[in-house]
Copies of this chain bind each other. A is one copy, B any other.
Amino acid sequence: MKSQDPAVRDAPLAVNELSLRLQVIVMSGHETIRVLEVEVDASLPSSVQEGKSSEGKTEEAGARPEAGKQQAASVEAPSDAVQSLSPILPISVSLPQPPAATVPVTVQACPQVLSQENLATLMTGMLAQTGSLGQPLLIPISMAGSIGGQGGLAVLTLPTTNVATLSGLAAAAATQPANLLKLPFAGLQAATVLNSVQPPLQTSTQAVFQPPAGSIQPVQTALQQPCMAGLAINPINAASLGAQTQFLSSLTSSPIITNAMSNMAGITSQILTTTQGQVIGTLPLLVNPASLAGGAATSTLPLQGLQVQTVTPQLLLNTQGQIFAAVGNGAAAVAASAAVLPKPAVTPTPSKPTTQAPATAATQLPVVIAPQPSILKSTTSPSSSLPITCGDIAKVGQLTHQPASSEEGINLEEIREFAKNFKIRRLSLGLTQTQVGQALTATEGPAYSQSAICRFEKLDITPKSAQKLKPVLEKWLAEAEHWNQKGQQNLMEFVGGEPSKKRKRRTSFTPQAIEVLNSYFEKNSLPTGQEITEIAKELNYDREVVRVWFCNRRQTLKNTSKINIFQVQ
């Protein structure tokens, strides 16, 4: 990692690129919800188009809240070197409207210098949300933005949080007319030299949501308005420090997002242009408010946030470099809202490239911006980051976990940062979770599957587990980066590893074996050690494996029997 920075910094950047095309991927959990492509013009507002949207799956009811976990989405964008880009670009993010809920959106600008092969994308927040009957779900949208100077990458993450929490925000937002998120990015001059270590210029632009004319307010004046209050980002050679500046601002949007969307015309998107023509602009998500059945749709809904990531020019060049926006939203909430949409307004504007999807708009809900702990460190090492977080926790402060980081002796904050960093670094190396998982499985033994990596990055694991995983990942990643310096080839060789250890690989019994085991079980659910040994021999499985099988089988029987036994008819 270390070496990367310098390189990047030194890399000459082409400035004054005019247009950049960004692909914004909005994710919900692991699903890609939508891909937008944004054309950005350095000086002009860009238009946003929706690329494609893939639907999320719906899930289950468990309704079991279980608090406290965060999810991060990971992206696997292969990267290619990006050459020069304009340093700072104005970006506008339009907020889609959540139909039924407000989605917290976090916008983060990550000033990261990506290595040549990089294209990094980040995901940040997640949130689950729930709505209650009585009220429309409010999914607060929060934006946290950090922007870095130099060939930084701007990442806009729109993590959503719990709806509940946010509700307050939403409400507030609703009231406010000018809802909008203005991103500070706008106004950044291309002039800013990429390489220079000079501090980044900052200009703030506005990302405004305009409410649709109709129902609710009004106006596209937003564009007019310069900035929200103030997200000004001063990019500074964060790269050198490995620090990032974060900026957060939360805004509230007017309630009806939908409307806003429909009035797409009014929406401005900000663009980033890179030499490579990479721009990431956030677009508003389109959510269709679901029309309620039978009723006048009175409900308002949520909406979602996008994440826009600005990548440093270098990054932009990457063939692979994709920018993602991750939108976290509670599935349910989102879905709910989506379902409803009555009339989608699509606001696509000019789009260029590939896919696009229409925009659907209309939402009533509040847009909340939640502050986020978004510091991206370039290095894993602690400290060094300059979290010039402009944390402001918007209305819904709850979301943020600024929580004290440690719990049970585990530095959660540290883990969070590492997880975030890990992803960035992994992506920088152009490695997929699968590759990492396979390599680690080889060197560290099972328990490092792709799933595990995914879960770690999303922090969809317990702190304890994360704590255990962290050093392993850290070490491995450092090695991988080391080899990478010696060339891609070396990296790839490194990735194709060795032995394994640790947790025993989960055994997969053949159907036949299970049949045999079951027949033995029926005869005797508690075989003696001798019997176990024989059975193991017969089936050619490890004795311990067979022993455990019986243990688990007994357990399962007990668990299931409970059900059958009581279930009366």
Contact = CB atoms under 8 A, between A and B. Distances in A.
A468 B409 CA distance: 37
A409 to B, nearest CB: 6
A295 B172 contact: yes
A564 B328 CA distance: 13
B256 A130 contact: no
15 contacts: A31-B132, A59-B128, A61-B328, A62-B68, A101-B339, A132-B163, A133-B166, A136-B338, A167-B299, A175-B298, A287-B293, A403-B568, A464-B511, A467-B511, A547-B559
Given A67-B62, A336-B168, A339-B136, A216 B55 contact: no
A130 B57 contact: yes
Given A293-B341, A402-B568, A402-B569, A334 B69 contact: no
Given A67-B60, A291-B341, A339-B100, A373 B129 contact: no
Contact of A256 (B288, B293, B399, B511): B293
A478 interface: no
Contacts of A460: 63-64, 562-563
Contact of A134 (B101, B170, B297, B512): B170
Interface string A169-190: 1111011100100000000000
When all copies of this chain in the complex are counted, the total is 2
Nearest to A29: B63
A341 to B, nearest CB: 4
Contact of A166 (B132, B297, B389, B393): B132
A560 B542 contact: no
For chain A, which range describes its interface: under 10, 10 to 19, 20 to 34, or 35 or more residues? 35 or more
A417 to B, nearest CB: 10
A97 B292 contact: yes
Given A63-B71, A136-B335, A137-B167, 7 more contacts: A56-B130, A56-B164, A62-B64, A137-B332, A164-B332, A291-B342, A387-B568
A34 B293 CA distance: 14
Contacts of A129: 58-61, 164, 332
